[in-house]
Amino acid sequence: MVESRLVGPVRIVGVGLLGSSIGLGLSARGIEVVLADASPTHLRIAIDYGAGRAAGPHDAPQLIVVCVPPDVTADVVARELEAYPDAIVTDVASVKLAPLQELRARGADISRYIGSHPMAGKERGGPLAGRADLFLGRPWVVAAHDGISYQRANAVDDLILDLGATLVEMTPEEHDRGVALVSHVPQVISTLLARRLTDAPGSALNLAGQGLRDMTRIAASDPELWVQILGANSDPVREILLAYRDDLDRFIESLTDPTAPGAERKVAEEIAGGNAGVARLPGKHGHDRRFASMVVMVDDTPGQIAKLLHEIGELGVNLEDLRLEHSPGAELGLVEISVLPEAVARLTEELAARGWRIAG
Amino acid sequence: MVESRLVGPVRIVGVGLLGSSIGLGLSARGIEVVLADASPTHLRIAIDYGAGRAAGPHDAPQLIVVCVPPDVTADVVARELEAYPDAIVTDVASVKLAPLQELRARGADISRYIGSHPMAGKERGGPLAGRADLFLGRPWVVAAHDGISYQRANAVDDLILDLGATLVEMTPEEHDRGVALVSHVPQVISTLLARRLTDAPGSALNLAGQGLRDMTRIAASDPELWVQILGANSDPVREILLAYRDDLDRFIESLTDPTAPGAERKVAEEIAGGNAGVARLPGKHGHDRRFASMVVMVDDTPGQIAKLLHEIGELGVNLEDLRLEHSPGAELGLVEISVLPEAVARLTEELAARGWRIAG
């Protein structure tokens, strides 16, 4: 059993993907979890799955995590604050300003409420989609506000750290603008692109490759959920979409006469602007840009890669990431090695001296 | 050696990703391949890599495959038609009408030319990105035209079938409209979304998840190449972008007052429309389905991966692909191993018996 920060019991209201994942993660750490859900079927599945036990009349939760759809979040949070006057309450809804405003408006005791939002999800929902490690290494925003003391908010920090997530503190406004850009606008754009496929000839769709598939994957998302999210965050989303439309207009204009003087330069600048934008995204784990990579060509025999890695180890260089590419027709395999940038020059030299072929 | 339809020799002009992949694939089938490239370095790498031999003065190719950027395709095709009066010539450029029109305009012998376009690619280019199995199961369009006889065009069909691709016959116009929808418009939309990240606060970018990453992956594409593609296919691309802009305007309008009567229904209909569009995409293609993968958890120490690979070799299992994931801060690395599906059960059992932790 891993040591945990939270004492528990923790009460989870709503056992969909997020609620059941939190329950599984905390249970795995030996923290007592009690579960509640409007659907008795979901509740039973989550309990069977190991996410916690059913809530009872005498539970005294230290922390309550509300994991229900955005449009009922404030409602359920208010009810929980009243029902458990000693508990700290948080929620995991993907908008943070609207629930706080609604709780304020109805005079709820927000000295015990602080909203949060784990940046983790899956295409599938429901308790059985839950995973104890869903939050591992993922950002989890705590939407700070002045109405709750630092000490009380601590329970939410403990929850996040116990689940292996990375705590990110933001104001509700910063959070909502941020997710508008990185999540809500991409959803709208994916949806609108997918709509263009509706009346396309099948012969064209048969040509689709990974690019289109990647870009329309999230277009398969649940309309009911997204009506709530976009409705609750419409201003930041609309603002970004307006700027995006200006860019689109300019792009369409540059295609109107692609051989006009300057038209090619304009298109190239647009594509280069996209290059620059995507380069700003942090690496897969937020840190991959720290590393430089090099490619070593190896003979297509089993022992070669082990030998290479062994020699890299002998040279005292730490391998940060590794990819193997092997083309069935080729006489060589390619090993792409990521190391700290300062190690590249020496490693290239030493490996070349030992007879390895460095491809770049 | 697998039996092949083509007799060869096949001459490949341009040994970037596509040219080198075609060379590797044909060489693996025992077909004689001769290579030419404007860059002596690229040519040397492709030859070392096993894609073919250097072109000589007495080559008599049956088929010539021109694999150069779109804006020089017609030029190189015309030159090859003249230099090899007995050969059939094809190209692999991602637009098909413009090169044909240009060849017609300059009076080239198009009775020996038929354009084609393999729907396969990778983010990385260059000869070393080549893979013999790049085209396996992928659509490969032959852009039919009346100027070439059925019998002569046969050599291109043989090329496609020998490389394991799926032959799709279309007119150049159908092809260009199709790729505008499934490839060129997605490129523009990804670029424009990525542009929105340019001046975003880093705190927002840190929240980015897989959705945004997937949608901006192709925004990292080469501006020079895309200027050529979009310029050569501007009318179909522009037409789709205009329809897309109408959808976008309507969406923005529905977010202007999200609580107005009917506004929620409109947003829900948009999202549902996206659901319907993406559902029309045929199932995932690709060669990687031949392999099954498993994840092994390793301690974060240099020798561990070499040890694991060494033991997999001892067990006589061929490693088809390998990915290392290492989350900073975590005490474990995850090694994702791809092997033939029939090897998974035994490998799991044997590695577990040797004390390795198999994560799935």
| CATH code of A119's domain | 3.40.50.720
Interface with B, mutate which of A179, A227, A312, A335 (most B CBs under 10 A): A227
Interface with B, mutate which of A161, A215, A325 (most B CBs under 10 A): A215
Residue B3: inside a domain:
no
Domain match, A135 and A82 both: yes
The answer to whether the Cβ–Cβ distance between B174 and A323 falls below 8 Å is no
Domain match, B164 and B100 both: yes
Domain match, A316 and A269 both: no
Residues of chain B positioned with their CB less than 8 A from the CB of A223: 267-269, 271-272, 275
Question: What whole-number distance in Å separates Cα of residue A54 and Cα of residue A44?
Answer: 8
Residues of chain B positioned with their CB less than 8 A from the CB of A212: 182-183, 186, 281
Residue A283: inside a domain:
no
Domain match, A160 and A293 both: no
Q: What's the whole-model pTM score?
A: 0.79
Residue among A203, A224, A248 whose CB faces B178 most closely? A203
The answer to whether the Cβ–Cβ distance between A183 and B245 falls below 8 Å is no
Domain range for B108: 10-170
Compute the average pLDDT of residues B197-205: 94
The answer to whether the Cβ–Cβ distance between A205 and B133 falls below 8 Å is no
CA distance A9 to chain B (A): 26
The answer to whether the Cβ–Cβ distance between A323 and B324 falls below 8 Å is yes
The answer to whether the Cβ–Cβ distance between A327 and B212 falls below 8 Å is no
Domain match, B184 and B234 both: yes
Residue B1: inside a domain:
no
Position A285 scores a pLDDT of 37
Compute the average pLDDT of residues B309-335: 71
Q: Give the CATH number for residue A260.
A: 1.10.3660.10
**ipTM confidence score:** 0.80
Q: Count of domains in chain B?
A: 3
Residues of chain B positioned with their CB less than 8 A from the CB of A276: 194, 198
Interface with B, mutate which of A195, A317, A338 (most B CBs under 10 A): A195
Give the residue from B252, B279, B306 where a domain finishes.
B279
Domain match, A192 and A244 both: yes
Give the residue from B227, B255, B279 where a domain finishes.
B279
Domain match, B166 and B214 both: no
pLDDT: is A42 or B190 the higher one?
Answer: B190
Residue A328: inside a domain:
yes
The answer to whether the Cβ–Cβ distance between A213 and B189 falls below 8 Å is no
Measured between CA atoms, the residue of chain B closest to residue A275 is B220
Residue A245: inside a domain:
yes
Residues of chain A positioned with their CB less than 8 A from the CB of B21: 327
Position B322 scores a pLDDT of 76
Position B359 scores a pLDDT of 66
Domain match, A56 and A166 both: yes
Give the residue from A135, A170, A205 where a domain finishes.
A170
Q: Give the CATH number for residue B325.
A: 3.30.70.260
Domain match, B302 and B250 both: no
Domain match, A294 and A226 both: no
For residue A288, pLDDT over 70 is answered with no
Question: What whole-number distance in Å separates Cα of residue A24 and Cα of residue A28?
Answer: 6
Residues of chain A positioned with their CB less than 8 A from the CB of B217: 211, 214, 278
CA distance B8 to chain A (A): 17
The answer to whether the Cβ–Cβ distance between A324 and B328 falls below 8 Å is no
Give tens-digit pLDDT for B27-46.
999 999 999 999 999 999 99
pLDDT band at A284 (very low <50, low <70, confident <90, very high): very low
Domain match, A189 and A238 both: yes
Residue B102: inside a domain:
yes
Domain match, A245 and A166 both: no
Give tens-digit pLDDT for B77-94.
999 999 999 999 999 999
pLDDT band at A295 (very low <50, low <70, confident <90, very high): confident
For residue A302, pLDDT over 70 is answered with no
Residues of chain A positioned with their CB less than 8 A from the CB of B130: 327, 330
CA distance B85 to chain A (A): 31
pLDDT band at B154 (very low <50, low <70, confident <90, very high): very high
Residue B2: inside a domain:
no
The answer to whether the Cβ–Cβ distance between B50 and A332 falls below 8 Å is yes
The answer to whether the Cβ–Cβ distance between B50 and A329 falls below 8 Å is yes
Residue A4: inside a domain:
no
Going A191 to A196 to A197 to A203, the CA torsion angle's sign is: negative
**Cβ pairs A/B, distance under 8 A:** 417
